[in-house]
Amino acid sequence: MSYQALARKWRPRCFADLVGQKHVVRALENAIIKDRLHHAYLFAGTRGVGKTTVARIFAKCLNCEQGITATPCGVCTACKEIDEGRFIDLLEVDAASRTKVDQTRELLDNVPYAPTRGRYKVYLIDEVHMFSNSSFNALLKTLEEPPDHVKFLLATTDPQKLPITVLSRCLQFNLKRLLAEEISSQLEHILKSEAIPYDLNAINPLAKAADGSLRDALSLLDQAIVFGNGRVLDTEVRSMLGTMAHDLIFELAEALAADSPARLLEVVNTVSDHTPDFSGILSELLSLIHQLAVGQMLPELLASDPGQVSRKQKLAQDISPQDLQLYYQIGVLGQRDLKLAPDARVGLEMVLLRMLAFRPLEYAVEAQSPPRVSSNVAPRSNFGTNLGSKVTPKPLPVSQVPPLVIPGAPVPEAPVMPPVATPSLPKTTVAVGLKTLTSNEDWHNLAGSLDIDGRSLVLARNCVFKSWDGKVLCLHLDSNMAVMRSKNAEDKLLQALQNYFGTKLKLEISSEKLESDTPAQREAKNKQQKQLEQQIAFSRDPFVQAIQEAFQGEIVASSVRNRVATEK
């Protein structure tokens, strides 16, 4: 006997069987009974709450051979064929896979022709927000003057992405996430009907993990039945859900290693589907990051670790020690912020994206830079060398992670600056090397060439020059960065300045609202400018334009990167 997925087998075939969404059902039933049918309906709601199911039942109501009814017979040819997905006048389109305008047009070209068999020709367009602009235009034209024999049933998880012109021509219904109790009772109903043995205690965790989506609940139930060898047992369900959560932690770490924001968000989406304990996920991710960092220093510890050894080894190899430290730091701070976020999922997404956004992109650039920092650090990772990694150990020390809080900086680059003025900088009055300091430009050059790292480097990079009389150097620190002040950092900066000038001096730093750029701000601006130029160049590229035209694509501006800067 072939096994049919529960979600498919138990797809409701009439409104009475539908779980939840009573408000929508009542409105539709009333419209049918009172013969007040609109020509376009929009069903909005998160995944798995019944949007297309409602639409299909509605299509049966419209086309049942017994007449337009809120309770389709279910036995006539039209009802049967709609249930089996082969009714000729129900045209189902998944907009997510059909974004080309030609195909939409072809589909809509047939609108004027009368239905072949049914009373109405019904267009069911799922994920309609994925339509391209031209597809929306084609749809809009039809919605403006719809023939009487056509009904549009649109479904979307993201109604905000629909043009207002389309929205205003649809009757909109918002489907709600199902309550855990609604899901639980449906799961029990199914288990009883299917004569599958189950623990009552196993039901709630499944319903909770489904987070409002009945479809997800049924797919979890399918898995639980397989996992429990035909039974649904408490301990096994919990262990299954735990394993899935565990897996997702690895997937998050792997998405970080791949530097893929898209993948990260995809995994968060899965987290949200199955185990929406976002702060738990973050702390488990931190614990994994910790294990990886330890493993990079002491590979033998990682090798003796129970479970997922090779997966951990691969991650320890793929993520640099600096990045691990950075991720950890951002994650720990993020735990605090998670409680303040509008909702926990948004909070987790922001923390994860921050990890990537602040990941230095310097590696390629660094290779061409003067070896100012590489001399003082030996490669930390044993994996890079022992395991024949493709990743060269990156010589940047942990403490050189660039400042995390540069205002307005999209992706801070490495704080490594050549010891001489780059040609793009304005001409300085006094070249560094002559050991004088009279302007902010001089300070920029000097700050980039001092032998400092960590907090003292961050401190220097966030100051502007005020005055220097040969004995006392006055700097103004960006008041947003006042938290970077510490005696230790200032001592180190002073020491480096004394070494540089070859004399004892006094350093006076005051936190001020600045009027000129700090080195860090300048770099952030340059970086933004570069990004902008790259975006413009990219969008003007004839090949890119051809692709855009062919696929009705849009450029995601922030994703445009210079290959040289990002390729490892």
Q: Residues 31, 68, 76, 297: which binds Zn ion (CB under 5 A)?
A: 76
Single residue of 6, 79, 225, 285 touching Zn ion by CB under 5 A = 79
Cα 306–307–310 angle (5° rounding)?
Answer: 110
C-alpha to C-alpha distance for 16 and 11, rounded to whole angstroms: 12
Q: What is the smallest separation between the CB atom of 77 and Zn ion, expressed in angstroms?
A: 8
Give min distance, CB of 67 to Zn ion, in A: 9
Name which of 72 and 299 has its Cβ closer to Zn ion.
72
Buried b / exposed e along 55-67 (16+ C-beta atoms within 10 A): bbbbbbbbbbeee
Q: Which of residues 271-300 bind Zn ion (CB under 5 A)?
A: none
CB of 43 to Zn ion, least distance (A): 22
Task: Copy the structure tokens of residue 288.
Answer: 């994994």
d(Cα 384, Cα 392) in Å, to the nearest integer?
A: 6
Q: How many CA atoms lie within 13 A of 499 on its CB side?
A: 11
Q: Write the single-letter amino acid at 408.
A: G
For Zn ion, the closer of residues 17 and 469 by Cβ is 17
C-beta of 79 vs 253, nearer to Zn ion: 79
Region from 74-82, 332-340, 399-407, 470-478 binding Zn ion, contact rule CB under 5 A: 74-82
CB of 65 to Zn ion, least distance (A): 5
Task: For the CB of residue 56, give the shortest distance to Zn ion in the complex, in Å.
Answer: 13
Q: Does 73 contact Zn ion by CB under 5 A?
A: yes
Q: What whole-number distance in Å separates Cα of residue 185 and Cα of residue 218? A: 12
Q: Compare residues 72 and 360 and give the one whose CB is closer to Zn ion.
A: 72
Of the candidates 525, 532, 355, the residue with the CA atom closest to the CA atom of residue 424: 525
Q: Least CB distance from residue 80 to Zn ion, whole Å?
A: 8
Smallest separation (angstroms) from Zn ion to the CB of 50? 20
Min dist. Cβ of residue 348 to Zn ion (A): 47
Q: Which is nearer to Zn ion, 119 or 246 (CB)?
A: 119
Write out the two tokens for 259: 């530097």
For residues 111 to 140, the per-residue mask of contacts with Zn ion, x marking binding by CB under 5 A and - elsewhere, is ------------------------------
Count of residues that bind Zn ion according to CB under 5 A: 5
Query: What are the DSSP E strand ranges found in 425-515?
Result: 463-468, 472-478, 506-512
| One character per residue 31-70, x = contact with Zn ion (rule: CB under 5 A) | ---------------------------------x------
Locate 445 and state its tokens: 């050059």
DSSP per position, 210-259: TTT-HHHHHHHHHHHHHHTTT-B-HHHHHHHHHHHHHHHHHHHHHHHHTT
| Contacts to Zn ion by CB under 5 A | 64, 72-73, 76, 79
